[in-house]
Amino acid sequence: MVVIGAGPAGLAAAAALGPTGSRTVVLDQGRPLHERDPAEPDDLTSGAGGAGLYSDGKFSFFPSATALWNLGPESALRTAYLAFAETLASLGIGTPGFPTMTDRNRHRTVARSEFKKTYPSFYVSPEHRASLVESLQSRSGAEFRFGTKANRISVLPDDAVEIAARDRGGAETVLRAKFAVLATGRFGSLSCAFDAPGHRPVFRRVELGFRIEQPADRFFLRHENGLDPKHIIHGAPGYSWRTFCCCRDGAVVTTRFDRITSVSGRADCPPTGSSSVGFNLRIHDRAKAEAALELVHGRAGHLDAVRSSPVEEFTANRGPLAEFYGGDLNGLLTEGLGRLSDAVRPHSLEGATLTGPTVEGVGFYPLVNERLNVPSFPVWVAGDHSGIFRGITAALVSGAFVGSQIAEALPSQRRSIQGQRTWT
């Protein structure tokens, strides 16, 4: 098996294959764990541990990552969650129980109208995150090839999977495998092409925005309970806004993945006196996403794409950030800011600095079924690469989920999975 990506999802998938004794190769364009440098933009998104190694450090649980809990079969998802919980327990970290069907049905009813989404979330230290990465690597028994970027994955007529890759020195290699897992994070579908007979990627969402930063003692979410306040605002059909990745007394950092330069938040740093939260426009309707897709596939990749503006300048459609997003997107983001401010506390965003872009959704993703399998092919997709959910917990659980399926399929090499529900 070949796993593309050594972040939480890829590591969990590889670890699930460890007990089978099968040969597993993990490719990642980044660096090994102890060579990563949080001061380097590229190291914030790639390498052992993925983007989650340097982040807000929060592990969030049901009903966070809503779509994760709809994967099936439920027995396999439960087993994957228990494996995840046992891994954390070995590091002295407790977890909530697996959500019951009653819990999930209740959330489906509430989620249609709720504005503020609440869920349990706790902070895991950088040291514990590093220990988790080391544990998963060790349990996988895999061969890790860091500094190696997978450029294309192809399914051949005999159902073998071919992976074309290149190392930092420019040397090209082609690997052939019986199974593959795509787990390269939120930018993965832009980074590694996927080619299978008749397969077409599906549009799920484009998600763009910025981080809202204020002095910690005036931060507009400072009085809200929970580590990660999640405000979701529904706009006209096809649009919504949401906060994410709240970092109190943290930092706004520049990250880079291939040609995408963006910003993220970190909470695992010395206190800075500033707090920030991400705020994104999510576009669900393909017909309304042209301007956003042009940014994701074009201008957002320029090395000078990170820009900051006072909120008053941005909402007046002036300054570098407003110019970057352009009239229509700027108008939608401004509308969302106004509604967020009114919902939390009128005028609560005064004096804030906006820094962007944040890029959390890139438009098109592989078509998968409820098993996270690309129908009819020996390829699975885990973590943020799926475009269905995001976050460290979802990555670890979904990685274990797909890894266990491949472990079951190994004796027969391939099982028919036609006719299962797909995520569209």
Cα angle: 269, vertex 213, 210; to 5 degrees: 105
Of residues 84, 41, 91, the one with CA closest to residue 65:
84
Segment among 91-105, 181-195, 204-218, 229-243 with least mean pLDDT: 91-105
Q: Span 230-235, mean pLDDT? A: 94
Q: What percent of the chain has pLDDT over 70?
A: 93
- The reported pLDDT for the residue numbered 201 is 95
| pLDDT single digits (tens) 261-276 | 999 999 988 999 999 9
Q: How many residues does the chain have?
A: 424
Which DSSP symbol is given to 224? -
Task: Characterize the bridge pairing of strands 274-283 and 202-215.
Answer: antiparallel
How much is the pLDDT for 112?
45
Q: Rounded to a whole number, what is the distance in angstroms from the first to the last CA of the chain?
A: 27
Q: Which of 20-24, 106-110, 112-116 has the highest mean pLDDT?
A: 20-24
Q: Which one, of 237, 255, 1, 11, lies nearest residue 139 by Cα?
A: 11
Asked whether the beta carbons of 281 and 316 are under 8 A apart, the reply is no
Q: What is the pLDDT of residues 31-64, one digit of tens each?
A: 999 999 999 999 999 999 999 888 888 999 999 9
What is the tens place of the pLDDT at every residue in 393-418? 999 999 999 999 999 988 654 333 33
Q: Could you read off the pLDDT of 161-219 as tens digits, one per residue?
A: 999 999 999 999 999 999 999 999 999 888 899 999 999 999 999 999 999 999 999 99
pLDDT digits (tens, 9 = 90+) for 379-392: 999 999 999 999 99
Average pLDDT score over residue span 213-235: 94
Query: Residue 67 and residue 84: Cα distance in Å, rounded?
Result: 17
For residue 402, which amino acid is it? V
- The chain-wide mean pLDDT, for the chain, equals 91
Q: For residue 82, give the nearest of 385, 372, 401 by alpha carbon.
A: 401
pLDDT in tens, 273-300: 999 999 999 999 999 999 999 888 865 4
Reduced DSSP (H G I as helix, E B as strand, rest coil) percent helix, strand, coil of the chain, to 5: 35, 30, 35
pLDDT at position 298 is: 67
Enumerate domains of the chain plus CATH numbers.
2-111+121-200+366-423 (3.50.50.60), 202-362 (no CATH)
Q: Residue with structure tokens 């040609």? A: 259
Contact between residue 377 and residue 159 where contact means Cβ atoms under 8 Å apart: yes
The CA dihedral of 56, 60, 65, 66, to the nearest 10 degrees, is -150
Q: Which pLDDT does position 108 carry in this prediction?
A: 65
**Mean pLDDT of all residues in 353-371:** 96
CA angle 41, 218, 214 (to 5 degrees): 25
**258 pLDDT tier (thresholds 50, 70, 90):** confident
The Cβ-side half-sphere exposure at 363, using a 13 Å CA radius, reads: 16
The DSSP secondary structure of 374-417, one letter per residue, reads -TTSSEEE-GGGGSS--SHHHHHHHHHHHHHHHHHHGGGS----
- H or E, element range at 127: helix 126-140
Cβ atoms of 136 and 87 closer than 8 Å: yes
Averaged pLDDT, 91-101: 89
E strands, 168-273, are 172-177, 180-182, 193-195, 202-215, 230-234, 239-247, 251-257, 260-266
pTM equals 0.93
pLDDT of residue 327: 87
C-alpha 281: how far from chain center: 16
- Going by C-alpha positions, the residue among 325, 1, 291, 27 that lies closest to residue 151 is 27
| DSSP output for 10-74 | HHHHHHHHGGGT---EEEESS--GGG--TTSGGGGTSSTT-GGGSS--EEE-TTSSGGGGG-S-H
Structure tokens at 158: 């005999």
pLDDT of residue 104: 79
What's the pLDDT at 413? 46
How many Å apart are CA 18 and CA 137, to the nearest integer? 9
